[in-house]
């Protein structure tokens, strides 16, 4: 993969250091499989690139997929020390009476946040969802408002929640795209909690219930996430799988049966892994280029990315990926650590893949009076 650097005055040709070249011939990417769903979305779990979709922005009833946001809100509260896994939650009559799937908590009993989370994630307990919502926000309605605030923050532009369970309400809706965005954030922000989505069964109150995500038994690469089903929503499934360093997220909404949602999800997952690949271009903190800094203490400043930079491409096409680094002709001190100084534009056969700022990997303060004076004179001749 070639790396070119452009500025307003100069054009330099560089080669990627230590690049691992995929010598395989690029295979054609066929149309995605036919899935009997009202909508679906297949996303690269590292880059967020859409791999396949059918009406991904169509508003749908999300059923128990709602509990992904319920869990996200609790995970955020845990990370911010608003609650702890050991907190004892007193089960209200409302939580106990909530219809639908249950973990069978009893009114007036005290149950830990961790037990309620497992009951919600593995057993899809509506009672656990309401108990958690009330513990965090006082009422389920206030908790739903918190869920909607997080949805806005995450860029879930076509989502609105009215409850913590996914029970039917005409103002309670989401989309395949929004749910894929949410799933990706859970996986990336809370990897330790995400492991709970791979648990195949959970027992509470002497009642053992299996995880409804049958893909956990069918495909060893699948490690989450959540099923949903109501009469209005149909059978739904958000699933994620990881193979050979690549992660995909599948969202299938509105199928006719539990088998259809599993078969459709499996077909999408296999399609993603078969015809696409995720490549790491640069690691966080790795020097991509060096920028000349005028009137500085050090003549050059290393540039790189602050997070690992991945791209998603058709399998076998890595040789054709090109990166262009746009850098101003003149950069002046002082330079702060993390300051954006250039832009990396990555493309494949003329199609943009990603534009990423390159930042200073270290600070570079103003130089001495002599250095500033010398560089000032040199700039006259540039």
Q: Which residues are catalytic?
A: 64, 67, 124
How far is the C-alpha of 79 from the C-alpha of 192, rounded, in Å? 11
Torsion of CA 151, 154, 158, 159, to 10 degrees: -20
Torsion of CA 99, 105, 111, 116, to 10 degrees: -50
How far is the C-alpha of 357 from the C-alpha of 339, rounded, in Å? 9
Torsion of CA 222, 226, 231, 235, to 10 degrees: -10
DSSP helix/strand/coil, 69: helix
Sign (positive or negative) of CA dihedral 189, 193, 195, 196? negative
Q: Which one-letter DSSP state was computed for residue 319?
A: G
- Residue ranges of E strands in the chain: 2-6, 11-15, 39-44, 50-54, 88-90, 110-112, 201-204, 207-210, 222-230, 234-243, 246-255, 276-282, 289-292, 300-304, 309-314, 321-326, 340-348, 351-360
Residue owning tokens 């989505």: 197
Residue owning tokens 């070249």: 21
End-to-end CA distance of the chain: 31
How far is the C-alpha of 23 from the C-alpha of 250, rounded, in Å? 29
How far is the C-alpha of 181 from the C-alpha of 33, rounded, in Å? 22
């Amino acid at each position: 993969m070639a790396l070119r650097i452009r500025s307003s005055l100069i054009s330099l040709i560089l080669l990627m250091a230590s690049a691992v070249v995929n010598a395989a011939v690029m295979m054609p990417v066929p149309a995605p499989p036919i899935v009997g769903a009202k909508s679906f979305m297949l996303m690269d779990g590292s880059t967020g690139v859409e791999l396949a979709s059918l009406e991904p922005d169509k508003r749908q009833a999300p059923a128990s997929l709602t509990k992904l946001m319920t869990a996200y809100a609790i995970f955020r509260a845990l990370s911010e020390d608003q609650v702890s896994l050991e907190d004892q939650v007193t089960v209200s009559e409302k939580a106990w009476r909530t219809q639908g799937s249950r973990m069978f908590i009893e009114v007036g009993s005290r149950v830990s946040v961790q037990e309620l989370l497992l009951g919600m994630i593995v057993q899809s307990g509506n009672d656990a969802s309401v108990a958690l919502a009330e513990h965090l926000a006082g009422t389920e309605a206030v908790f739903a408002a918190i869920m909607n605030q997080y949805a806005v923050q995450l860029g879930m532009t076509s989502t609105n929640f009215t409850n913590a369970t996914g029970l039917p309400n005409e103002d309670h809706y989401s989309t395949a795209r929004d749910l894929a965005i949410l799933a990706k954030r859970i996986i990336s922000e809370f990897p330790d909690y995400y492991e709970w989505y791979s648990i195949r069964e959970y027992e509470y109150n002497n009642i053992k219930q299996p995880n409804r995500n049958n893909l956990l038994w069918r495909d060893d690469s699948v490690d989450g996430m959540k099923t949903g089903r109501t009469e209005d929503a149909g059978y739904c499934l958000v699933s994620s799988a990881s193979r050979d360093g690549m992660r995909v997220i599948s969202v299938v909404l509105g199928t006719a049966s539990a088998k259809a949602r599993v078969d459709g999800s499996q077909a999408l997952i296999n399609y993603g892994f078969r015809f696409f690949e995720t490549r790491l271009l640069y690691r966080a903190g790795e020097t991509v280029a060096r920028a000349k800094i005028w009137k500085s203490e050090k003549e050059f400043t290393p540039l790189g990315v602050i997070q690992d930079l991945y791209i998603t491409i058709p399998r076998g096409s890595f040789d054709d990926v090109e990166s262009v680094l746009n850098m101003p002709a003149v950069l002046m001190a002082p330079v702060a650590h993390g300051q954006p100084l250039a832009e990396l534009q990555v493309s494949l056969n003329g199609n943009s893949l990603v534009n990423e700022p390159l930042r200073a990997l270290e600070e570079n303060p103003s130089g001495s009076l002599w250095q500033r004076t010398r560089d000032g004179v040199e700039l006259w001749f540039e």
